[in-house]
Amino acid sequence: MDNSFLSRLRFKFRVSILNENTLGEVWHFRISRMGMFFAVVSFLLLTFAIFALLIWFTPLRNYLPGYNGNIRQELVEEIARVDSLNMRVKLQSDYLQVIQSVVSGEVKTDSVKPLDSLAVQQREQLLETKSQATEDFIAQYEAKEKDNLTMFDVPTTNLVYTLFRPAHGSIEQHFQKESEIYHITIQTPKNENVTSVLSGAVVYTTRSIEHEWVIVVQHENEYISIYKNNKRLLKKIGESVKAGESIAIASDEKPLWFELWQKGFPINPEEIISF
Q: DSSP states of 142-166 as a string?
A: HHHTHHHHGGG----------PPPS
3-state helix, strand, coil in the chain (%, to 5): 45, 25, 30
When pLDDT is averaged across residues 19-26 and rounded to a whole number, the result is 83
pTM, entire model: 0.46
Q: How confident is the model at residue 152 (pLDDT cuts 50, 70, 90)?
A: very low
Query: Under CATH, domain 170-272 is a member of which superfamily?
Result: Glucose Permease (Domain IIA) (2.70.70.10)
pLDDT in tens, 236-246: 999 999 999 99
Question: What does the domain layout of the chain look like in residue ranges?
Answer: 2-59, 69-107, 112-146, 170-272
d(CA 150, CA 166): 41
d(CA 138, CA 152): 14
pLDDT in tens, 66-109: 666 566 677 777 888 888 888 888 888 887 887 777 677 666 55
pLDDT at 135 (0 to 100):
74
pLDDT at 68 (0 to 100):
61
Measured between its terminal Cα atoms, the distance across the chain in Å is: 114
pLDDT in tens, 100-129: 776 776 665 554 444 455 555 555 565 555
